[in-house]
Every structure is written in C-alpha cells, then in structure tokens.
C-alpha cells in the first residue's frame, strides 16, 4: 500500500511494481515505473525502479540487511496556505526544501522514512 506524500492518504489496495511497466509523467517530464494520482488530494506521485541497482538476495545473505533495489520517487506538493505548486520533488536525500515566494517562507519535507513489510 502506498501513502500520499502530500496528504497522507493510504491507498485501499496493494500496489505492485514491475520493472517492465512505464507510465508518462504529467507535463511531458518523461516516465516512471508507476504514476499514481491521489484519490483524496489529486496530487500525482511517482516511483521508478532503478534497474541498474537490482541485486540478488541469496542464502548467504540470510538474516542480514542488504540493499536489493533502489527506487527514485518524485512528488508534487502545494503550499498549504499559498497554493504555490512545488513539482518534481526528489526525496533521494531524505529531505527537501524550497522557498514559497507568496508567503515568504521556507518550506520542506524532512526525515523521510520508509518500511517494507514481508507479506
């Protein structure tokens, strides 16, 4: 299940990603493995599997943490008070910040965390 980076809405159904899938990004900015519009706030979120990062998890890796794949996720947000659009937010560094000219304030997303659950 995915959670919208803008409003926190969690999708009702489980989402599955496949390396072979591709969907166009809004505004002709390329494509991603999955592009999803939030049902609650209508923001477009995307996730792309970085194929060159895929690594096997073998018996010798048992009970160890190991990176097996990396994703590139980009999000769009809107200033809560100003309505200023912030497009193409990259959370690769776990933090993002910008400046909202309308409110004359710094805006940001900080300390992003994630969790994968074995099902």
Q: What is the pLDDT of residues 97-119, one digit of tens each?
A: 999 999 999 998 888 776 665 54
* Token output for 53: 């990062």
Coil, helix or strand for 59? helix
- pLDDT tens digits for 38-61? 888 888 888 889 999 999 999 999
Question: Given this model, what pLDDT does residue 119 score?
Answer: 45
- pLDDT tens digits for 7-47? 888 888 888 889 999 999 887 778 899 888 888 888 888 88
The answer to whether the CB of 75 falls within 8 A of the CB of 45 is yes
* Token output for 52: 């060159």
The answer to whether the CB of 4 falls within 8 A of the CB of 36 is no
Coil, helix or strand for 76? strand
Q: How far apart are CA 110 and CA 46, in angstroms?
A: 19
């Amino acid at each position: 299940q995915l959670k919208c980076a803008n409003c926190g809405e969690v999708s009702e159904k489980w989402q599955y990603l496949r390396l072979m899938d591709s969907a166009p990004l809004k505004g002709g900015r390329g494509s991603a493995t999955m592009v999803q519009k939030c049902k609650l706030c209508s923001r477009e979120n995307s996730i792309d599997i970085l194929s060159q990062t895929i690594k096997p998890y073998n018996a010798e890796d048992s009970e160890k943490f190991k990176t097996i794949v990396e994703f590139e996720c980009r999000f769009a947000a809107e200033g809560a008070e100003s309505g200023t659009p912030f497009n193409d937010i990259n959370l690769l560094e776990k933090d993002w910040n910008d400046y909202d000219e309308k409110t004359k304030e710094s805006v940001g997303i900080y300390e992003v965390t994630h969790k994968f659950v074995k099902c």
